[in-house]
Structure 1
Amino acid sequence: MIVTERQHRERTHFDRVYRRAERTQHLRIPPHDLRRYGRCDDWRTYGKECAFHYLKPLAGRELLEIGCGTGVDSVLLAANGARVFAYDVSPEAVEIARKRAEVNGLADRITFVVACDLSAAFAGRRFDRVFGNTVLHHLDLTGFSEKVRRVLRPEGVAVFREPVVLDRWLRRLRRCIPWYPSNPSPDERPLDRQDVAALCRGFAGVELRQFECLSRIWPLLRSSWLIDCLHRWDRELLEGVPWSRRFASVLVMRLTGHCPSARETP
């Protein structure tokens, strides 16, 4: 397996993170979460529920998960009926993910591997769904859209949930705020408009939904009631005031179909 310098930095960083975290990992998925991401009743309010909603139906579908981490989403997807093929750059993360699948009784529905590239993770295989949750902003996205199209079956769906900074002035402001939390790994950064356009290129169907404008401050709050209110106010704001979407901090993308004009390299 060929590993670039960037991938090596990411692997080293997350191996260290997950090595520390393993002692405090709660492997069993709470019943509340299984119900929540099975039903997705609040998919217009919360980005992760929206992503799971966009993936439906999952029963009987083969799904590729990019950057599975410790397997939380892998288990939720398998519990919803998908046959999950998941990979991550971190061996430490994959080890925890395998334990989590076993504890939740879904090890027979999930295959985990250590890999750095979606083309090589399950070479020669094509999928009904491709999914990534807050992972693309860690990657070099050169040629990524084409790779996704190559592994998707003709009627397949790709869904990604990512942190974004879509407004250029907000991006500049973000760099100038000394107390703004630094990116936790060396190479990651929120996606910008150019990144989103490149990811969507070559797909015939593109659906974008923005989240977390006012509620971007939720990590600073302690009240779950107030956090929930902010998310619901965001839903009304982002649905009712289109220009506010440029200030969202999370974007969910649903990509389908191939444009006939999309260039494919041999």
Structure 2
Amino acid sequence: MLPATLTARQQREIDFYKDYAQRQRVSSIDFDPVLGHEQRPWNPYWYVYQLVKQRYVSRKQRLLDYGCGIGIASARFARLGYQVDGFDISEENLAVADDLAAKYQLASRCHFAPMTAENLNYEDNSFDMLVGIDILHHIDIQKSIEEAYRVLRPGGVAIFKEHIEAPIFEPIRQSSVGRWIAPNETSQDDHITDDERKLNNDDMTAINGIFDRVEEKRFTVVSRVDRMIPQCSVGMRARLQQLDHYLMKACPPIRNLGGTVVLTCHKSHL
């Protein structure tokens, strides 16, 4: 359940998702990222699913969908075989998640509850894996990562996909010209809330200070221009992501310019 007292930021998030959950309501889920044979290592979302798939061993494994939203990822994890718990600050989001799990006969393997990332109502060492997709930039990093570490079992892994500040590009992005070309004001359509921000060096220092080992893989260098291309198609965006993938393989230092990161955070065995 949600805390009796919420911060102003948390209340703004709740208010935002009251509308968002209905505007973006979905009725079907594509399970190809976890059940199909295709791999898309240039796509950060598909890369997360591949990491989760690689670590699947048995149907007894518990996975926490950390900030589950409307539950699309939760259903995919459950279809793969995990026992899934998901939390979100928005009860409207969770209502959609419940409906989707029921539609795909996954209700017995998906359990959702309203919570804040800063105050999880799970016991210590509860989960084999924790996955957070586009959530850290909405929350208090220090408190939330401490909670994530607490509920993860020794030997467990937490995977986070996030937007991150990148040298060279960030000053351009935050300039008046950059904001004019690609506004970042609050938007239901673009899923931008009042308080979200990209991860910065201080956030990365906090994450590395809490987890025992953190690996990162960067994405989004050239492909960041997709927002500047009118009516950029899905196919064009994929080709830009593939270009990034091959550029980073050919010239590894380019990875430091990536504006998207997937973090694989390890909790050591006792």
Range class of TM-score, shorter chain: 0.7 to 0.9
Residue number among 254, 266, 270 corresponding to 1:244 in the alignment: 254
Aligned to 1:133: 133
Counterpart-to-counterpart distance in 1, 2:241 and 2:37:
15
Residue range with higher mean Cα deviation, 8-17 or 195-204: 195-204
RMSD between aligned residues: 2.1
Aligned to 1:178: 179
Q: How far off is 1:198 after superposition?
A: 1.6
**Which runs of 5 or more residues in structure 1 are unaligned?**
261-266
- The residue matched to 2:65 in structure 1 has which SS? strand
Aligned to 2:7: 4
Q: How many residues align?
A: 253
Counterpart-to-counterpart distance in 2, 1:161 and 1:155:
20
Contact 1:40 1:53 in 2 (8 A): no
1:115-167 alpha-carbon deviations (Å, 9 max, x no partner): 11364333456100011000110011123332222111111110000011122
Aligned to 1:263: none
* Identity between Structure 1 and Structure 2 (%): 26
Q: How far off is 1:259 after superposition?
A: 9.5
Counterpart-to-counterpart distance in 1, 2:246 and 2:104:
36
Aligned to 1:189: 197
Q: How far off is 1:72 after superposition?
A: 0.6
Structure-2-length-normalised TM-score: 0.86
1:164 aligns to 2:164 (yes or no): yes
Q: How far off is 1:201 after superposition?
A: 2.0
Amino acid at match of 1:74: S
1:194-221 alpha-carbon deviations (Å, 9 max, x no partner): 2123212233332111112111233435
1:57 aligns to 2:49 (yes or no): no
Contact 1:66 1:118 in 2 (8 A): no
Amino acid at match of 2:45: K
Structure-1-length-normalised TM-score: 0.87
Counterpart-to-counterpart distance in 2, 1:108 and 1:259:
30
Counterpart-to-counterpart distance in 2, 1:123 and 1:16:
32
Q: How far off is 1:231 after superposition?
A: 1.3
1:69-97 alpha-carbon deviations (Å, 9 max, x no partner): 11110101111111110011111111111
